[in-house]
Structure 1
Amino acid sequence: MSLALALFEPDIAQNAGTLARTSACLGIGLHIIEPAGFPVGDAGFRRAGMDYLDRAVIHRHASFAAFESWRAGENRRLVLCTTRAAIAYTGFDFSESDVLLLGRESAGVPESVHERADARVVIPLAAGTRSLNVAVAGAMILGEALRQTGGFPG
């Protein structure tokens, strides 16, 4: 079992496509929890994913409940990447069975999803700044999780 990346109702096709490309290049699965704010596979998604989309392993879940059913069956820990966490991602002990969940660009995740998370991590930011682009944040946290678990390909 390897790390997985999940996007909660993504708003922006280009960010989702970038994370699909990242997942393909790093050999991990990408889970898209719908509804998305764009048709999965639209031009922006394909453009950002470029020729790597054919290599990406993308799992689509019709709802958060469907995703949670899958996760329970796989016995995976849910690690929410959020600005509302107290633990820096560099100080968290990742496991190779973790699913890293990123929220919507416009609104994050609802409180009900926060409550379902087994852990929450944050990227510490400079004073006066609010957040990073979701694709950048996802890549940073995924990189640390792969470093800790020895999950980089090759």
Structure 2
Amino acid sequence: MSLHIVLHEPDIPANTGNIARTCAGTGVFLHLIHPLGFSTEDRMLKRAGCDYWPHVLITHHDSLDTFLADKKKENLYFVETTGSAPYSSFDYRELTQDYYFIFGKETQGLPENITSKYPERCIRLPQNDQIRSLNLSNAVAIVIYEALRQQSFPSLH
């Protein structure tokens, strides 16, 4: 099936633009959960995505609750610094299901009521104590490429 990146209320247009470019280059779907901390007409957003925007498979959602309402729990991975297991310890090889990787806003992460509802679905990227978290666009790229690596990079060359 498909890989999906879900950004919950992103704040920084350049991060979203970089993520959109990665999604365009890998065929990964991008979901933006509103409200956004910027306009989708923002020049920094467009600059970071360059001329790749027509190739981004993008969907906008009014809220995280409405997005989650029709998703199967088994397909959801909440990426958070407090996650219970490293992102690389999960198996993303099943090509008959969708995988949704949900990232929080840069300044606050994911809402605690969501992470506490799905603790076994919370994953993390290992890091030391010198920083609060990795840059959002870097974290998204790491997760995308691990899932694609496990799937032998389908449709990529």
TM-score by length of 1: 0.90
Separation in structure 2 between the aligned mates of residue 56 and residue 86 of structure 1, nearest angstrom: 31
Of residues 115, 133, 139, the one that matches 1:137 is 139
Q: What SS is found at the alignment partner of 2:82?
A: coil
Q: What corresponds to 2:150 in structure 1?
A: 148
Report deviation, 1:151.
4.4
What letter is aligned with 1:150?
Answer: S
Q: What corresponds to 2:6 in structure 1?
A: 6
Separation in structure 2 between the aligned mates of residue 76 and residue 50 of structure 1, nearest angstrom: 34
What letter is aligned with 1:59?
Answer: T
How many residue pairs get aligned? The number is 152
Q: What SS is found at the alignment partner of 1:67?
A: helix
Mapping for residues 9-88 of structure 1, pairs under 5 Å: 9-72=9-72, 77-88=75-86
What letter is aligned with 2:110?
Answer: V
1:14/1:113 Cα in 2 relative to 1: closer, same or farther (>3 Å)?
Answer: same
Residue by residue over 1:65-108, the C-alpha shift from the partner in whole angstroms, topping out at 9 and shown as x without a partner, is 22113435xx7611011100121112122255110011100000
8 Å contact kept, 1:17–1:46: yes
1:87/1:134 Cα in 2 relative to 1: closer, same or farther (>3 Å)?
Answer: same
What letter is aligned with 2:127?
Answer: L
Separation in structure 2 between the aligned mates of residue 54 and residue 124 of structure 1, nearest angstrom: 34
1:127/1:79 Cα in 2 relative to 1: closer, same or farther (>3 Å)?
Answer: same
Report deviation, 1:149.
2.5
8 Å contact kept, 1:6–1:100: yes
What letter is aligned with 2:71?
Answer: R
